[in-house]
Amino acid sequence: MTRQEAKEILLLYRPDTDRNDPDFAPALEHLRNDPELKRWFEQHCATQNAVFDSFEHISVPEGLKEQILSERKAHVNLGGRRAARLLVAAAVAVLLLIGLVMFYSKPPKAIDFSTFRLRMAGKVLRDYPKMDLETADLGQIRQYLAQHGGQADYVLPAGLEKTRGTGCAIFDWQGKRISMLCFNSGKNSNPKAPDLFLFIVDRSAVQEPATPSSPEIAAVKTLTTASWVSGNKTYLLVVEGGQDFLREHL
């Protein structure tokens, strides 16, 4: 084994982890007779330990776990455990009763608006969820939403009324029904690819934005957003572009 070959093997060596791994034994043996290789290896291990420590010390934001758990969907996988299903069935009846009592005694908790805005912008960035219906016809979009339990009685801003639609989707987030309307401004070379996304949610589902009566503009990551409240709906428009581009569609 040459020094270079030994180095290439030892590059993958993890101090404290791979000490007794037979795959590294020949290269480690080589260190005994090669002082230069040994010097390189000691330095390499020191660097590796420092990098491992760096990864170890990446701090996880407080509250992330709670946030994930709060987003848990109702239909979490319960696997094929029959016993669990029976238990769930029994529990459902009890919970239904408790739920009814709670429903009539306390209004449901509204979600923080900034969280709603951040997560919807995240969906746009990930191109997720996919559209349930792809069409340029805004009438068809409204009809689809009405037929599938989405928010159909929405009012579009004048700018969006004139914009070509690309489709829509309905999804649940934190137990709230959300409708997403997608548009193409014409600046995108692909007419089917949206660059404007309008999220509509019932007004009671999320806390109101800071200025509910007039659009509140905010940058989220690489996107620009506008949010407002009208009637019994809260609207969030997310665009791939700057403020001027966004204002053209309000």
Partner 1 sequence: MSHTGDSGTQSVSLDFENLVGRYYSSLYKFAYSLTQTEADACDLTQQTFYVWATKGHQLRDSTKVKTWLFTTLHREFLESRRRHTRFPHYELTQMDAELPTVSPASVNQLDAKGVMEALARVDEIYQAPVALFYLRDCSYKEIAEILDIPMGTVKSRIARGIAQLHTLLAASPSGRQKGAA
C-alpha 7/C-alpha 228 separation (Å) is 61
Q: How far is the CB of 11 from partner 1 (least distance, A)?
A: 5
Q: Closest CB to partner 1 among 16 and 244?
A: 16
Q: How far is the CB of 134 from partner 1 (least distance, A)?
A: 17
Q: Which residues bind partner 1 (CB under 8 A)?
A: 4, 7-8, 11-12, 14, 17-18, 20-21, 23-24, 40, 43-44, 46-47, 50-55, 57-58, 60-61, 64-65, 67-69, 71-73, 75-79, 118-119, 122, 125-128, 221-222
Q: Closest CB to partner 1 among 11 and 97?
A: 11
Tokens standing for residue 153: 């009685």
C-alpha 182/C-alpha 171 separation (Å) is 14
C-alpha 200/C-alpha 31 separation (Å) is 65
Alpha helices in the chain (DSSP H): 3-10, 25-31, 35-56, 64-70, 82-105, 113-126, 138-147, 158-161, 243-247
Q: How far is the CB of 156 from partner 1 (least distance, A)?
A: 25
Q: How far is the CB of 137 from partner 1 (least distance, A)?
A: 25
Q: Closest CB to partner 1 among 140 and 174?
A: 174
Q: Closest CB to partner 1 among 46 and 210?
A: 46
State the Cα torsion 224-225-226-228 to the nearest 10°: -170
CA 26 to chain centre: 47
Q: How far is the CB of 67 from partner 1 (least distance, A)?
A: 6
Residue type, 48: Q
Q: Closest CB to partner 1 among 73 and 162?
A: 73
